[in-house]
Amino acid sequence: YLALAGIDGVKVDVQCILETLGDGLGGRLELTRQYHQALDASVARNFADNGIIACMSHNMDALY
């Protein structure tokens, strides 16, 4: 829908909440892995130049 409307990228925020949400959904690492795989696939499929800004995504697991 967004690409058809002329949008060429997206900005996503607060991915670090996955640490909290993942507690009951197979663990935070598994949920984060699945989320980022789905996000990457969606952006690649919908935006030719991989237009994404991932803001506030640097939790401790991403940094170390």
Q: pLDDT of 15-53, one tens digit each?
A: 777 777 777 767 777 888 888 899 889 889 888 887 887
Percent of the chain that is helix, strand, coil (3-state, to 5): 50, 10, 40
Cα angle vertex 55, ends 52, 56, to 5°?
Answer: 150
User: Predicted confidence band at 64 (pLDDT cuts at 50, 70, 90)?
Assistant: low
Instruction: Name which of 54, 47, 50, 51 is nearest 4 in CA terms.
Output: 47
**What are the domain boundaries of the chain?**
10-63
Q: In the chain, which ranges are continuous DSSP H helix?
A: 18-21, 28-46, 60-63
Q: What is the pLDDT of residue 41?
A: 92
**Better-scored residue on pLDDT, 57 or 10:** 10
57 has a pLDDT exceeding 70: no
pTM for this predicted structure: 0.67
